[in-house]
Amino acid sequence: MSYLKEKILKDGVVLDGNVLKVDSFLNHQIDPVVLKEISNEFIEYFKDKEITKVMTIEASGIAPAILVASHLNIPMLFAKKTEPSTLSNEDQFSTNVHSYTKNKTSRVLVSKQYLTPDDKVLIIDDFLANGEAALGLIDLVEQAKAEVVGVGICVEKSFQPGRAKIEDKGVDIFSICRIASLENNKITFVEDEH
């Protein structure tokens, strides 16, 4: 069993609304062993994709994304949820993302300067639920006429529709671990179902 799965079973807390709290090792305090394992798996899976940029959304995607970018020695770009006073509307790509955990829609943006048509972008995020964050990032890459080479997810909640929405767009998706159910406070992984 992967270290990430072990940590989820040992320290993950199931909250109301099918939310898994992983603040002790991924979302608040960060365990470097978990992060290294995650980034090694992403690199192994996406190594032939000639990636030029790793992209995520602030804040919790930044840690895994920077580790992957650092391995590949390429830049990491994160979509911002607050508008910097230094960036005018004409100089940014923006899109709306509805947050599953916060039940709030926010406009996220990146500077046009950092996303260009020759980019091959690997999108990384901590969780995949309804796919809003990943689809928002795909939208930003498409606005820039750049290419999405794949989506890498640390924890996929496979009982929610995110994966299907990404696959429908023809984008390759790889998740380090896939949760089949959080029902009755019990964490079941997809591979353990049979």
Q: Binding-site residues for xanthine, please? A: 20, 27, 157
- What's the closest the beta carbon of residue 44 comes to ligand 5GP, in angstroms? 23
- What's the closest the beta carbon of residue 61 comes to ligand 5GP, in angstroms? 6
- What's the closest the beta carbon of residue 133 comes to ligand 5GP, in angstroms? 4
Amino acid (1-letter code) at residue 117: P
For ligand 5GP, which is the closer residue by CB, 94 or 112? 94
- What's the closest the beta carbon of residue 163 comes to ligand 5GP, in angstroms? 9
Tokens of 162: 């995110």
According to DSSP H, which parts of 54-95 are helical?
Answer: 62-72
Residues in contact with ligand 5GP by CB under 6 A are 19-22, 27, 60, 99-101, 125-133, 157, 162
Whose structure tokens read 């964050």?
Answer: 133
Rounded alpha-carbon distances, angstroms, from residue 36 to 28, 68, 151: 16, 9, 18
Distance CA 121, CA 124 (A): 10
Distance CA 103, CA 33 (A): 31
Binding residues for 5-phospho-alpha-D-ribose 1-diphosphate: 129-133
Distance CA 170, CA 65 (A): 22
Distance CA 139, CA 170 (A): 13
